[in-house]
Amino acid sequence: MIRKENEEIILEKRTKNDIWKNLYQFPLFETIKENNSIKKVKDIAFKYNCLEQNKIKKWNIEPIKSKLSHQELLITFWLINLDKVFLNKSNYYKLKKYPMPVILDNFINKLFKLKA
């Protein structure tokens, strides 16, 4: 999840013809090995002009497992430029307006420590 300086959260609409087509997600990357992750996170932060080394934080220590019919996902969430001031009800409800996969919806609920 990336927050830009203007308080905007970056979301992408999925357009691939898969089960999550037309749902929204945070900038996404896939790796074979987790040890490649921090470099890819920095690359995404740089792409969105949000690269401040001390503002990149791994949210979950262990990957979250999500089973699909054809594969198992191991998901790690990274927070870029987020702080406690941002985690309020107003921003929570802004995010909840977008249709998202269940795993992201659960993440948002836990991150904001709120329920819809």
Give residue-wise pLDDT tens across range 55-108: 788 888 888 888 888 888 888 888 887 666 666 777 888 888 999 998 889 888
- State how far the Cα of 105 lies from the Cα of 96, in Å rounded to an integer: 8
Residues facing 74 on adjacent strands:
65
Contact 41, 79 (CB under 8 A): no
Going from the C-alpha of 108 to that of each of 11, 44, 51, 83, the distances in angstroms are 13, 20, 22, 14
Q: What is this structure's pTM?
A: 0.74
Q: How many residues does the chain have?
A: 116
